[in-house]
Amino acid sequence: MIAKIVCYALNGLDGVPVEVETDVNKGIPSYEMVGLPDTAVKESKERVRSALKNSGLLFPVNRITINFAPADIKKEGASFDLAVAISLLKASEQLVGATTDGYVFLGELALSGDIRPINGILPILISAKSHGFSRFIIPADNAKEARFLSGAEIYPARTLTEVMRHLVGTLTIPPLQTAQYAPHTASGGGADLKFVKGQPVARRALEIAVAGGHNLLMVGPPGTGKTMLARCLPTVMPDLTFAEALEITKIHSIAGILGEEGIVTERPFRTPHHTATTVSLCGGGNQHVRPGEISLAHGGVLFLDELPEYKRSTLEALRQPLEDGVITVARAGGTFTYPARFMLCASMNPCPCGNYGARDKVCTCTPAEIRAYRKKISGPLLDRIDLQVEVDNISYDDLTAPEMCESSAQVKERVERVRAIQRNRFAAESISTNAEMGEREMARYCTLDAEGDKILRAAFERMNLSARARGRIIKVARTIADLDASEYIRPKHVFEAVSYRLFDKLG
């Protein structure tokens, strides 16, 4: 008898249905798997054999052929174990009277017959639901992640026996209750702007960056709190919406880094070390294609500390995803697209010795050395970083202005307000933040008065700015005007925006 059972494979962020067909024939006992299974899938033979035995079930002593269809996509990982076991049981007529139609089986088996959690449950469930499947058997340990999917019957199972009894009707596994998503204010690992001493310029830049979706570069001597400021970024970003949370969860689920919660409720903050390779940053890999750091930072912040220390080719690879918000990884085994809409925050020393601009130390670098150091970051990449600010090391002990000790919550309030303005503004467009504006949107929404235009022209002449830099300045000025609740971009907004183009000025 031939048994057909449905399970799912992952292709990028999408699930692809895979039918496990099992045929048990008379003949010399053998156990073959066909249909492009990788090593981990082939190993399921042994896991399934032991799991059946240890669950008190029979492993048929016949000629067994298992086929994974469609045969042309590569199947990876251990998530097919449960489906293989069930199809074997069905083919060997140990599941009399059970209905398996309309079910999707997901899970890895332990030798004891226990069901182990798998990666990527949420993306699989979402895809399967859109393919018309509505009943799922999943590992109980994945229940937390799966409970955010509504409109499907999801049965979390602990053991193979449980699944079998559920199918024949001697036991009913209680279906999973759909959970309500509750947005979470990012704790940021305890980071909060109120713990940052002073740094009014960097604070302001941070606020503008988050409010308008701009990228940020902080330049300053070592030990001035650049990393701490960056860690505060997620704490001032707007709360995740359910749709955003689901998308981030999907990526984290595939990468297998999903926490206890089962869903990502805080904006990610990823800090890959500067030894990171292009593949680890962008995604890829030989056997298992995995999303890279930029995709794991989707919806959150990618923090690159000591920017010039990264390999230049690695940084250049960021240019395209920075522009498009997605990365397409092409490998011999297939092409995978992962979302990668992140905010880039980078930090660097002002010069090789680190003391350029420091108050109490003397910089010993020659201009040529400083130039060589800054040249490590290419113009096109720098062009994509709208805000470039200096973080200094003066002591702020005797300064008492309120803006020196604002908390993240206060800043976030303003950010939410400005984001709302942008949502209204771009309601008819396909973008949602000022930073994403193209030429067309800029012409429509960034009107400068005559004086502002004159200033900008003068600035361009003096600073010898490129046309691209002009666009960046206008976008930042737009965000500053929004923070100021001003419909028009006024000269002071332009001036402030110009002051955040540190690198253009240094030439």
Partner 1 sequence: MRYSEEEKAYLWLCACTDLDASARIAVLREAHDPAALFHGFPVPHASEGKSRRDEAEKFLAALERKGYFALTLLSDDYPENLKNIPDPPLVLYGAGRRELLRAQKFCIVGSRRAPASAIATGKRMAEEISRHITIVTGLAEGGDSAAIAGAIPSGNLICVLPCGLDNCYPAAHASLKERVVKAGLLLSEYLPEEGTTKYAFYARNRLLAGLSDGVLVLAAGKRSGALITANRAAEYGRDVFAIPYGLGVEQGEGCNDLIKHGAHLLTEAEDVLTMYGYGGESRAEAQFTEEETRVISALKERGEAHLAELAEALQMRVFEVTAILSALELKGAVAKSGGNRYTAV
Residues that bind partner 1 (CB under 8 A): 198, 200-201, 204, 220-221, 350, 356-359, 362, 366-368, 371, 390, 392-394, 396, 399-401, 403-404, 455, 458-459, 462-463, 491-493, 495-496, 498-499, 505
Cβ neighbours around 27 below 10 Å, total: 9
Instruction: Pick the closer one to partner 1 by CB: 227 or 499.
Output: 499
CA dihedral in degrees (458, 461, 464, 465; nearest 10)?
50
Question: Nearest approach, Cβ of 82 to partner 1 (angstroms)?
Answer: 58
Question: Scanning the structure block, which residue is given the tokens 């994509």?
Answer: 384
Instruction: State the Cα–Cα distance between residues 283 and 327, nearest whole angstrom.
Output: 8
Of 395 and 430, which CB lies nearer to partner 1 in the complex structure?
Answer: 395
For 398-407, letters b (16+ CB in 10 Å) and e give eeeeeeebbe
CB of 430 to partner 1, least distance (A): 31
Cβ distance to partner 1 smaller for residue 182 or 394: 394
Q: Count how many Cα atoms sit within 13 Å of the Cα of residue 451 in the half-sphere of its side chain.
A: 7
What is the identity of the amino acid at 67? N
Nearer to partner 1, 36 or 502 (CB): 502
Nearer to partner 1, 394 or 485 (CB): 394
Residue whose CB is less far from partner 1, 332 or 368: 368
Q: How far is the CB of 367 from partner 1 (least distance, A)?
A: 4
Minimum Å gap between C-beta 284 and partner 1 is: 36
Nearest partner of 29 among 66, 67, 61, 65, judged by Cα: 61
What's the token pair of residue 101? 């139609």
How would DSSP label each residue in 413-455? HHHHHHHHHHHHHTTTSS--SGGG--HHHHHHH-PBPHHHHHH
In order of 13, 118, 150, the CA distances from 130 in angstroms are 14, 20, 12
- Minimal distance in Å, beta carbon 225 to partner 1? 13
Q: Which is nearer to partner 1, 206 or 346 (CB)?
A: 206
Least distance from partner 1 to the Cβ atom of residue 274, Å: 24
Residue 338 or 356: which CB sits closer to partner 1?
356
Residue 142: closest CA among 186, 84, 79 = 79
Contacts of 96 (CB under 8 A, 6+ apart): 168
Taking the least distance from each CB to partner 1, the nearer of 220 and 299 is: 220
Least distance (Å) between residue 356 CB and partner 1 = 6
Tell the smallest beta-carbon distance from residue 236 to partner 1 (Å).
Answer: 16
Nearer to partner 1 by Cβ, of 260 and 360: the residue is: 360
CB of 324 to partner 1, least distance (A): 32
Taking the complex as a whole, how short is the minimal distance between the CB of residue 406 and partner 1, in angstroms?
Answer: 12
CB 81 within 8 A of CB 117: no
- The total number of residues shown for the chain amounts to 507
Beta carbons of 334 and 11 less than 8 angstroms apart: yes
The Cα–Cα gap between 377 and 396 comes to 31
The DSSP call for residue 75 is B
Helices 81-91 and 44-54 cross at an angle (nearest 10°) of 60
Nearer residue to partner 1 within complex by CB, 111 or 394 = 394
Expressed in percent and rounded to 5, the helix, strand and coil fractions of the chain are: 40, 20, 40
Q: What Å distances lie between residue 292 and 219, 236, 255, CA to CA? A: 26, 24, 9
We find the least distance from the C-beta atom of residue 464 to partner 1, in angstroms, to be 9
